[in-house]
Amino acid sequence: MKTPAKLLIVAALVVAVVAAVALKQNNKKAEPGTNTSPPVTAQTASRGDVAGGPATTPPAPAATAKLPKLLDLGADKCIPCKMMAPLLAELKREYAGRLEVEFIDVWKNPEAGQRYGIQMIPTQIFYDAEGRERARHVGFIGKEDILAKFRELGVNLGEN
């Protein structure tokens, strides 16, 4: 093999190693739970009005009213996630102005799954009104259990 070909191979290897190191360092900076950028909300017909418009997590203090938040990360084709959809729509409707409810389809938006450190779906993340994560739940969870979790966390949703 001639010397110029060897130099090209070595240069390509050096570039590949530098790129791998840079990617690894970038992934360390964006560890799950840091929420450095807002997720893109998946809009799916099966979720009705739960998906809504563009979302921010946690809510920006100056941009929106400070509300507790339930973030459901799942997929619109996952059976337990499909079972959650009507409950989330009901919570969003019944607690409008008191609770923010958001769904993110991590199959359509895998970056969000990585950002939130999701390993199984559905996963629900409970936030207080200040945007701090207070709890997580993996799997299907009923409406009453969601409300009970907020009560347990000391989050007042203005229930009767």
87 is a catalytic site residue: no
> 60 and 128: one domain?
yes
> 50 and 88: one domain?
yes
Place of tokens 């990360």: 73
Is 140 a member of any domain? yes
Is 36 a member of any domain? no
Residue in 42, 81, 106, 147 annotated catalytic: 81
Q: Which range marks the domain in which residue 61 is found?
A: 45-152
pLDDT score for 7: 74
> 56 and 83: one domain?
yes
> 2 and 51: one domain?
no
> 89 and 61: one domain?
yes
Q: Tell me how many degrees the CA angle 34-100-104 measures, rounded to the nearest 5.
A: 55
Is 35 a member of any domain? no
81 is a catalytic site residue: yes
* Confidence band of 61 (pLDDT split at 50, 70, 90): very low
User: What is the count of structural domains for the chain?
Assistant: 2
pLDDT higher than 50, residue 57: no
> 93 and 21: one domain?
no
Task: Give the pairing of strands 69-74 and 100-105.
Answer: parallel
pLDDT digits (tens, 9 = 90+) for 73-124: 999 999 999 999 999 999 999 999 999 999 999 999 999 999 999 999 999 9
Which residues make beta-bridge pairs with 65?
none
pLDDT higher than 60, residue 60: no
Is 52 a member of any domain? yes
To the nearest 5 percent, what fractions of the chain are helix, strand and coil? 40, 15, 45
Give the domain CATH number at 50. 3.40.30.10
Residue in 48, 66, 78, 149 annotated catalytic: 78
Lowest-confidence pick of 42-46, 55-59, 80-84, 90-94: 42-46
Q: Taking a C-beta distance cutoff of 8 angstroms, is the pair 101, 88 a contact?
A: yes
pLDDT digits (tens, 9 = 90+) for 6-40: 777 776 666 666 555 555 555 544 444 444 333 33
pLDDT score for 144: 95
